[in-house]
Amino acid sequence: MFDSKSFIEKSKGEMQKQIGGERALCALSGGVDSTVCAVLASKAIGSSLRAVFIDTGFMREDEPAWVKKHLDKMGVNLRVFDARERFISALEGHSDAEEKRKIFRDTFYKLFGEIVREEKCKILIQGTIAPDWIETKGGIKSQHNVLSQIGIDPEKEFGYKVVEPLLQLYKDQVRLVGKELGLSEELYARQPFPGPGLLVRVVGEVRRDKVEDTRKAIAVVEEGLKGLSPPPQQYFAAILDSKGKISEKISKEAGEFLGEKAKATVLDARGTGVTGDIRRYGKVVLIDSKSTDYMALNKTQFEIVSRNKDDVSRVLLVLKSQKEGKYIAAIRSIQTRDFMTVVITKIPFELLNSMAEEILGRCPNVKAVAYELTPKPPATVEFE
């Protein structure tokens, strides 16, 4: 059994040894891991810690102010650094998921190097956890916070040493540590938020209006699902380009399994998936049907992915659409223990439809709102 109390004691001692009286910088993204890491570091090294929140512009609505308020309450003095323009200019126009992650990582760590020097720190403390480096090493995806495990020497490359106290923990253990440290439930039970933020939810080419629509759609989903019981472990929206082609073959297959007329569009957009330990990058199929039968929908997504294995990684069900618009907003909600495998939440259709209505109202460029039907595997939790 994991004992959070003794973990905290042991890791405080280890951090004090590793840091040895130097000033250290800790970066927060607003996610559970980096928040727990910052509070743990503050307990270990007190006033030698500088905590920074880089506003990359790929954050949820009002995130910087929310995080600052909560960290202040925990006695951690947070400096918010506005780097929105720097990130969007580096990423605008780029489409490839891995390339985007790498640009994000490089922009992040270069800026970090500057802040580390400005704050006269030689050490960076970050909240990398076990699945981050397991999936990056396994080639499933490049988590932006994984460096030394894939052969990048941060001292040589960026000019500082990295300390990672949560490296061996899984998410549920990180939450226990947060609880033990005295974080409010709102903080330690918070759904995970990926380090690269909204970037992994802006599918394909990065554009400023697309980032804004993603942020608004996520706000609608977070508000709509926060009271759901039992609570899903993660719920958000992603935005994809709506261009695609109708597939007669998949329309026919979907119609058979659903027992309803169905139209299947294969989008040009691609989403990440995982088969065994191999990451793949497949097409996204959009099903337009009146079916609200989760058993039939589940079978349909399974059959479509199995019959088009090398091609299709995800199947979405259209909820509401309108005439104009260039984007599809995909609602994603999942249940899981460890985030390595997940199932989708069977959200009542009335609730899904009301969120879809609201997203169409708030996001002028969104043409249709859909619900993501694919578990992990074969999809990943995030779209990229």
Nearer to ligand XMP, 164 or 382 (CB): 382
Does residue 144 touch ligand XMP according to CB under 6 A?
A: yes
Nearer to ligand XMP, 101 or 216 (CB): 101
Encoded one letter per residue, x for contact with ligand XMP by CB under 6 A and - for no contact, window 18-47 reads ------------------------------
DSSP 361-375: HH-TTEEEEEEE---
Does residue 220 touch ligand XMP according to CB under 6 A?
A: no
Q: How far apart are CA 129 and CA 144, in angstroms?
A: 12
- For residue 41, which of 29, 31, 30, 50 has the smallest C-alpha distance? 50
Q: How far apart are CA 241 and CA 286, in angstroms?
A: 12
Q: How far apart are CA 338 and CA 131, in angstroms?
A: 9
Does residue 376 touch ligand XMP according to CB under 6 A?
A: yes
Among 194, 204, 224, 244, binds ligand XMP (CB under 6 A): 194
Contact 93, 70 (CB under 8 A): no
Among 339, 347, 370, 377, binds ligand XMP (CB under 6 A): 339
- Residue 302 CB neighbour total at 10 angstroms: 16
CA–chain centroid gap for 253, Å, is: 32
- For residue 321, which of 366, 269, 285, 352 has the smallest C-alpha distance? 366
Does residue 204 touch ligand XMP according to CB under 6 A?
A: no
Closest separation between CB of residue 233 and ligand XMP, Å? Answer: 8
Closest separation between CB of residue 234 and ligand XMP, Å? Answer: 5
Closest separation between CB of residue 32 and ligand XMP, Å? Answer: 10
Closest separation between CB of residue 379 and ligand XMP, Å? Answer: 8
Nearer to ligand XMP, 144 or 314 (CB): 144
Closest separation between CB of residue 206 and ligand XMP, Å? Answer: 15
Nearer to ligand XMP, 244 or 378 (CB): 378
Among 57, 192, 244, 377, binds ligand XMP (CB under 6 A): 192
Which residues lie closer than 8 Å to 32 by C-beta, 6 or more apart? 171, 174, 175, 178, 187, 188, 190, 192, 193
Does residue 300 touch ligand XMP according to CB under 6 A?
A: no
DSSP 30-79: SSHHHHHHHHHHHHHHGGGEEEEEEE-S-S-TTHHHHHHHHHHHTT--EE
Q: How far apart are CA 279 and CA 275, in angstroms?
A: 6
Among 126, 143, 289, 301, binds ligand XMP (CB under 6 A): 143
Contact set with ligand XMP (CB under 6 A): 132, 135, 141, 143-145, 192, 194-196, 200, 234, 339, 376, 380-382
